[in-house]
Chains A and B, each alone.
Chain A
Amino acid sequence: MYLQVKDVKKSYGKDTSYVQVLKGISTGLECGQMCVIQGTSGSGKSTLLNCIGGLDTMDSGSITVDGKEIFGLKPAQLSDYRRDNLGFIFQFYNLVPNLTVRENIQICQHIAEKPLDMDELLETLGLTEHQNKFPAQLSGGQQQRTAIARALIKNPKLLLCDEPTGALDSKTSRDILVLLEEINAKYGTTMLIVTHNNSIKNMVHKVIIIKDGLVKKEYMNETRTPAAELEDL
């Protein structure tokens, strides 16, 4: 398993405000797989993503990425873990507003040991002509593509996507999903996508459904629908 999650528990607050968000989640993902995590609001899917991304600490359990345990890592070690292994895509893009498209991507290129070729990536993502524009001059889809390029420039082994199409219309959502599919195929990037969107589960290799802090169901898609053919996005 490239990503192994074992009995992960996470709680917040004390006494009356105590709430256990993750109640012992166990799951896993093979290298190069695309996986969707689904669940209702408050089910714990984002908390799980944050724990895997080293953005949040867990109370107990184990998460290994490429055989490396991240439970108990200190902040500096977690930082190196993210630097060396992960790429992030967010619902609201989180581009640095005063940097151009190219410069936003350079943020991650700068800390990558073996970054991908910038121009090739821009070309792949259809951003070449927009590379000197600022985020405010771009459409939502172009901004999300920039965010994807920024995440991919490091050539991460694991790409964590938090509602990547949550702020986009259906056509743009489809374009982004097609893009992710192509990247997965081209670079073999393992992807973990948190989404509310029910259609996206059809394009990925694995689906994990979380409810009340536990894995309610997980399964492999026998037949995947190409992103370009997804309906009800």
Chain B
Amino acid sequence: MNKVLRKRLLRDLRANFGRYLALFLLFVMGIYLAISIVGSSEMIIQGTENKKSVNMVEDGQFTVFLPLSDDDLNGLTEDGTTIEPMFSFDLKTDENTTLRLFRNRNKIDLIQLDEGTIAEQNGEAVIEKGYAEAHHLHIGDTVKAGGTEFRITGIGSVPDYDMCIAKFSDTAVDKNAFGLLFVTGSQYDAIKENGDQNAEEYTYAYRLGNTTNDELKEQIRKIKIEPEQIENKYFRETVDDYLQERRDIEAGIIDLHDGADALADGLQKYSRFDENIRDAADSAEKLADGIGELQNQTGELLDEVFDLEIENLTSFVTAEDNIRIAAAAGDVIMDKNAGLVAGIIILALFAYVLSVFVVHQIEQEQSVIGALYALGVKKKNLMLHYITMPTLVAFFAALAGAALGFGFGVQSQAQDSYAYFSLPVFDVIFPAYLVIYALVIPPLISALVNAVVINKKLSRTALSLMKNEQSAGSYRQFSLKTKRFPLLFAIRQLVRESRSAIATVLGMLVSVMVVILGLDCYVMCKAVNDDTIADTKYAYQYLYKYPEKTVPENGEAAYIETLSTDCMGYTLDVTVIGIDGDNKYFDAKPEKGKNKAVINSSLVERYGYKTGDRVIFHDAAADADYSFTVTGISDYSVGFTIFMDIDSMRELFGQDADYFNAVYSDCVLDIDEGRLYSVTSKADIEQSASVFVDLMFSLVVTMLSAGTVIFCVVMYLMMGVMIDRSAMGISLIKIFGYRPREIRSLYLNGNLLIVAVGALIAVPLAKAAMDAIYPSFICNVACSMKLAFPWYLYAAIYVAVIAVYFVINRLLIRKINRISPAEVLKNRE
């Protein structure tokens, strides 16, 4: 029997080609969308993970004042830890760009070449790919930096500069301005000996052996240096400040001792004249002796009081905390989450479209099913037959969608990441869940939906199916008072097609959700961009590494600490800024009090805090929690920020009453560069803010285009089903002599009402649903989350929906025109 029935399959495909094609396209588009977004994210995340062992990615790095001795290194590597020097210095090019010079790596953070070879001789270099691309440099070209010419033998990337920024405090990658060069050890030393370069940075990368980051850090902290060994003048200044009191005491004692000696000598000269003077001279000598003794003892005492053991360690950053490492992988987490949600929405859409499609098809065929059933064809044979075609269509569509997605979409979607970050070219990966999602789920859903629907149909008797019986209860029965027949008919038609109407609105809802998901991404990133620029009222932010005692002229002092908070398992930084009440650069007026803070709008948007709430943030370095009462909310939207009164903050964190480590200004300040950790201009912030929009752009475009296509196909399918279900009625009224315009008004105007009213419901509902789940997409990013659409965006979506309706309407008019008046007569046979 199945063999005979199978012959129908191709005929069925031919007969319903348009509908199967639409279904095919829907599946292809849906699978492509999910695969390309999630697949590209997975490729970068897992590719980065896989490269860890290939490129021997560091577990962390530390920087020291002075290179470690062999003994120090031996001590640190006793437990199997590997340490490799990553010393570097920055070379200027003629175009005023910076190339950071490294030796070739041997053990850690190995260079991943895209093309060419490692530098093997002096005069050769491997250049970082982003810089090479920005400056159109190729293998064999020459680049001149620090007065030395390098012939490029290779172009590649290193995992410790995945986000290729010069300083950790840099806010955005600038491939035009900064890159890396890798040369032989002898070349490096030759340039170093040349002597007129910037100070060398003594950084070591490590891969842990049988120890932990904390244990290694403690070991390194035990390595001390003498104050005299310190080369950095600002650090020496700080040490000198600290030692000045000791020197003052020592000098005072010396002066006192000298004075006592002088006094004893003087009195001695006159002791022969008077006994009292002689006694005084003796006492003065004793005083001088005592002071001498004091002077001798004070050394030890001062050693105890001024315990100055200077650690060689200047910074210790684990790979986890290093923003340069695996930055792209962290960045695409949001894409992956959005893609997964879109994927789930699409699966729901598949199930729903299929159910409508199958119900309609089975209803059309129910007399055939009844006849076959009556003839003794078994339920499972019928089920297999009716399941086969949609399941095959779903399978081949899934195959095509997966092929397109994995073959083209994944790499295409990853282009933004490749363009911004310094990444090796990753191979496309095929995560099991994605392959199952793409190849198994669609046909499975198709088979299941068909099975459920057919099973339900086959629960009726063969006779009932053959007669195509419609029970009196099949239609909602109610009386209508209107005398206007077209209105009456349209209402009846609407009620009759209420299931299709609901299905259409649901389809609209689901596809609009995909569109709104894309728009939410865009709106949020645009808001981050615009608000960051608007809220940055200062022209320059100076962060001190070695704070001064006096606030520079025209500068506004602030005290900054970094705490953290948890967001769905991710640890996000919270910047605490201590400011004076009259600080003109921040829209916040924090009250005095160690536990009072004004929180910024980003925290409110993400966590829903309000004035009066108690909020707790964590200090990872001190392993302590800080609790604050929210006394106000600032419109400042940059990152997660809280504002405190600067004096209260100094008190809270145990700093001096005049301490500050940041200065804001609206002009360039005269601060020695060596004293600073970073200088950030408003232009830097504008550039970094725009990165959000740039990186999300392809995701937004993909979501919008896929959502639009899915929406069009769903609308076409659903409205087509409504027309198909009315084919007999249309044919009938054609026989009665209804004109095309009258037919359209009876059968299509109701659809317009469904779409118009449905869109009014679906658009805000889809927006609310997407806004509700959106925080989970950006759980790894500390940023504001403004998702509100301007009114015109809602209007644009609504108009687009109606426009799509009219386009589909035109196609359906052709469909209606094709319905022959004789159709109704076929029912006779």
Contact = CB atoms under 8 A, between A and B. Distances in A.
Nearest to A163: B828
Interface stretch (B244-252, B299-307, B491-499, B633-641): B491-499
Interface in B686-744: 728-729, 732-740, 742
A100 B481 CA distance: 12
Interface stretch (A1-9, A64-72, A74-82): A74-82
A98 interface: yes
Contact of B821 (A55, A80, A100, A134): A55
A56 B824 CA distance: 12
Interface in A86-127: 86, 88, 90-92, 94, 96-100, 103, 106-111
Contact of A137 (B472, B728, B825): B472
B486 A110 contact: yes
A199 B385 CA distance: 45
A144 interface: no
Majority secondary structure of chain B interface residues (helix, strand, loop or mixed): helix
A55 B736 CA distance: 10
Contacts of B740: 76, 79
Contact of B825 (A90, A97, A98): A90
B474 to A, nearest CB: 7
B470 interface: yes
Contact of B485 (A50, A76, A94, A110): A110
B477 interface: yes
Contacts of B676: none
B735 A55 contact: yes
Given A46-B825, A79-B739, A136 B495 contact: no
Contacts of A54: 821
Interface of A: 46, 50, 53-56, 76, 79-84, 86, 88, 90-92, 94, 96-100, 103, 106-111, 132, 134, 136-137, 154, 162-163, 166
Q: Which of B733, B736, B740, B827 has the most CB of A within 10 A?
A: B736
A136 B470 CA distance: 7
B68 interface: no
Contacts of B550: none
Contacts of A83: 736-739
A98 B492 contact: yes
Interface string B466-497: 00001110110101100001101100110110
A131 B827 CA distance: 25
Contact of B735 (A84, A88, A137): A88
Contacts of A108: 736
A100 B737 CA distance: 21
Q: How large is the interface on B (under 10, 10 to 19, 20 to 34, 35 or more residues)?
A: 35 or more
Contacts of A134: 472, 475, 477
B747 to A, nearest CB: 12
Contacts of B742: 111
Contact of B479 (A76, A91, A109, A132): A132
B822 A80 contact: no
Contacts of B495: 98
A61 to B, nearest CB: 18
A97 B475 contact: yes
A100 B739 CA distance: 23
Interface in B192-216: none
7 contacts: A83-B737, A90-B825, A91-B828, A97-B475, A103-B480, A107-B732, A162-B828
A136 B737 contact: no
Contacts of A90: 824-825, 827-828
Given A79-B739, A83-B738, A98-B495, A50 B489 contact: no
B492 A99 contact: yes
A98 B489 CA distance: 9
Contacts of A46: 825, 828
Contacts of A98: 475, 492-493, 495-496
Interface in B453-475: 470-472, 474-475
Given A53-B735, A98-B475, A103-B489, 15 more contacts: A76-B740, A79-B734, A79-B738, A83-B738, A88-B735, A90-B828, A91-B828, A103-B480, A103-B488, A106-B485, A107-B489, A107-B736, A109-B485, A111-B736, A134-B472
